[in-house]
Amino acid sequence: MRRTTILVADDHPMICAALRKMLEPGHDLIGCVEDGWTLIKFAVDMKPDVVLVDLGLPGLNGLEAGRELKKLMPGLKLIFLTMNRDPDIVQEAFRIGASGYVLKDAMGEELVPAILDAMRQPV
């Protein structure tokens, strides 16, 4: 069975390191990028199954980058991984096509199930 490929967009290297340790036993983390413009370039070039994106990216924020990615790659599974609990932001994330929204303080329990759920969603 093919492993899920994941690209992470977060400007905190510690988050990327933690995600690599948490996800690599069952998934392929193909890279970590630190800003929204780089995220778009890498996602288009590398074609991951899932992108985990923080809202607070420099350059182009996570929502804007996610919106652009969904235009370029409609089948991409986009999961926001953030500390932002604002219900309006959550609603906007799903409106642009997010497959999931996970709070960083719950990622240990909720992230892997969110990825599995996203991969079961139809394109």
Mean pLDDT of 15-42: 96
Q: What is the mean pLDDT of the chain?
A: 96
The burial class, CB within 10 Å (0-12 / 13-18 / 19+), for 95 is: exposed
The predicted model scores a pTM of 0.96
Overall domain count for the chain: 1
Per-residue pLDDT, 83: 96
Per-residue pLDDT, 52: 98
- CATH number of the domain encompassing residue 96: 3.40.50.2300
Residues of the domain holding 52: 5-120
Question: Is the predicted pLDDT of residue 77 greater than 80, yes or no?
Answer: yes
Span 78-114, pLDDT tens digits = 999 999 999 999 999 999 999 999 999 999 999 999 9
Whether the CB-CB separation of 59 and 36 falls below 8 Å is answered with yes
